[in-house]
Chains A and B, each alone.
Chain A
Amino acid sequence: MSTPASAVQISAAQKAMVLGQDLPFWYPINVALTANQTGVQGTVTMDNDADFELRELLATSTGIFSVTLIDRYTSRPMMTAPINNLNMFGTAQLPFILPIPYTLLRTATLAVTFNDLSAAPNTIQLAFWGYKKFGR
């Protein structure tokens, strides 16, 4: 017959849960495009310590651009044609929220193809924000 866990045991278990809690995390991609440059590749690979639950898409840039995005783990593109940055990325103030979080397994790679639409040099940072899922 099992006996109820003691207060010490419960406290220890709670601390273990804290160690395993979800970690807010940003995975950035930085690229610099020349005027009207197209087909520039950028990638980011998930760390091997945890799966990543993607929840928000963020970007800053010095001009407008378009991207295509593919999850190389499943080899599935996320669009049928390049999508303008304003239709895909928000900012930290007004992020583009995924109502259903998208899970990327550890070591999965997100590959992005950039196209400049500004006709000027364009410095871009994408940030994929979500949680590292240590609890899984």
Chain B
Amino acid sequence: MSAIPTTPLRAPAPNVQVSAQDLPFWYPLSSPGSSVGTVTLTANQTGVPAQVTVDNDSEFELRALVATSTGPFSVTLTNQYIRRPLSPTPINGENIAGTALDPAFIPIPWRLARTSIVSALFNDRSGAPNTIQFALWGYKKFSNSPSDILLPNVLHYRKAISHVYMPDTKDLEQLQNKIPYWWPVLDNVAIGSQQAARSKVSMPQGSYATHLVASSSQAAGFVLQLFDTERGEMFEDQPTLRFVNHAGSAQRPFWLRKVYRLPFDGQIQCRVINLAKAVNTVQVVICGVRD
């Protein structure tokens, strides 16, 4: 007769394993030559540089962007290692970074090589002095193991417990080995009282959208229509949805339930109608990945 097992269910974790485990890590951007982890802008200052260098002890798996500031700002991020910007124009802070309460997760973890430099150009939008802390959050990969926990980054992690928000494996595969990217489809356009504005954006082949974000300077917001010229399809028939129901913010993005392949032989066109009885500055951003 076999004895009832009395040994622990699993062997104790070897110390070496703990030493090599993924380390949660924050990389705050600093002004060049500084290491204070913040950037200070004067009123309406533009093009203020900042950067951070990935430590030489391990690769860094970027998972989320977090930021605090004393006023609104916009930023353009560039990975200097591959010399690629992550957006064609500056993205508003509220559309690119969250906080610890609601971090702005990127669609899939993105590996940055050791000694990579991520640089940024900040622009103040507050009209007052602005102290910004903008941090890259993720894991130091001491073990160099592949990222096998993708789910929380693909969709909003508080919704990820529900299977209806889970993408299928094919969706995940489409996102692999690409860089995160933000496309402003309507870029801080000042729209007159209850007026409409139109804009368009082109993408290269191999681009996919995972979520939509937008910001509005007026609480009344706007309504939005998107049109894919390649497929000849409108995303909705009537522009009846206020932006809060159509596109979230970096903290709470509007995640698409399926990854959307963006047209490379066409455009995404956008029409926005300002619902406020005042000038409304609107930015609509398609977030995703590209080759």
A residues at B contact (CB < 8 Å): 2-3, 5, 9, 12-13, 16-17, 20, 51, 57, 66, 71, 73-74, 76, 78-91, 94, 96-100, 102-103, 105, 135-136
Q: Identify the closest chain A residue to B153 (Cβ).
A: A99
Q: Is the CB of B2 within 8 A of A5?
A: yes
Q: List 6 A-B contacts (CB under 8 A).
A: A20-B9, A57-B100, A83-B28, A87-B28, A91-B101, A100-B139
Known contacts: A80-B37, A102-B21. The answer to whether A87 contacts B67 by CB under 8 A is yes
Q: Is the CB of B9 within 8 A of A96?
A: no
Q: Is the CB of A97 within 8 A of B25?
A: no
- Chain A hits for B22, CB < 8 A: 100, 102
Q: Is the CB of B103 within 8 A of A96?
A: yes
B102 at the interface (CB under 8 A from A): yes
Q: Is the CB of B9 within 8 A of A51?
A: no
Q: Which of A5, A100, A135 is packed against the most chain B CB atoms within 10 Å?
A: A100
CA of A76 to CA of B30 in the docked complex: distance in angstroms?
A: 21
CA of A2 to CA of B3 in the docked complex: distance in angstroms?
A: 9
Q: How far is the CB of A80 from chain B (nearest CB, A)?
A: 6
From the candidates A16, A90, A99, name the one contacting B6 in the complex (CB within 8 A): A16
- Chain B hits for A85, CB < 8 A: 100
- Chain B hits for A136, CB < 8 A: 8-13
B146 at the interface (CB under 8 A from A): no
Known contacts: A3-B2, A82-B37, A87-B66. The answer to whether A98 contacts B24 by CB under 8 A is yes
Q: Is the CB of A87 within 8 A of B149?
A: no
B5 at the interface (CB under 8 A from A): yes
- Chain A hits for B140, CB < 8 A: 76
Q: Is the CB of A81 within 8 A of B35?
A: yes
From the candidates A17, A86, A102, name the one contacting B23 in the complex (CB within 8 A): A102
Q: Is the CB of A80 within 8 A of B18?
A: no
Apart from A5-B4, A87-B137, A136-B13, what 17 extra A-B contacts exist at CB < 8 Å?
A3-B1, A16-B5, A16-B6, A20-B9, A51-B13, A74-B23, A79-B27, A80-B27, A80-B28, A86-B68, A87-B28, A89-B100, A94-B102, A102-B23, A102-B24, A103-B21, A136-B12
Q: Is the CB of B23 within 8 A of A90?
A: no
Q: Is the CB of B149 within 8 A of A100?
A: yes
- Chain A hits for B1, CB < 8 A: 2-3
Q: How far is the CB of B19 from chain A (nearest CB, A)?
A: 6
From the candidates A2, A13, A79, A82, name the one contacting B5 in the complex (CB within 8 A): A13
Q: How far is the CB of A52 from chain B (nearest CB, A)?
A: 11
Q: How far is the CB of A94 from chain B (nearest CB, A)?
A: 4
From the candidates A9, A71, A80, A84, name the one contacting B4 in the complex (CB within 8 A): A9
- Chain B hits for A102, CB < 8 A: 21-24
CA of A90 to CA of B8 in the docked complex: distance in angstroms?
A: 34
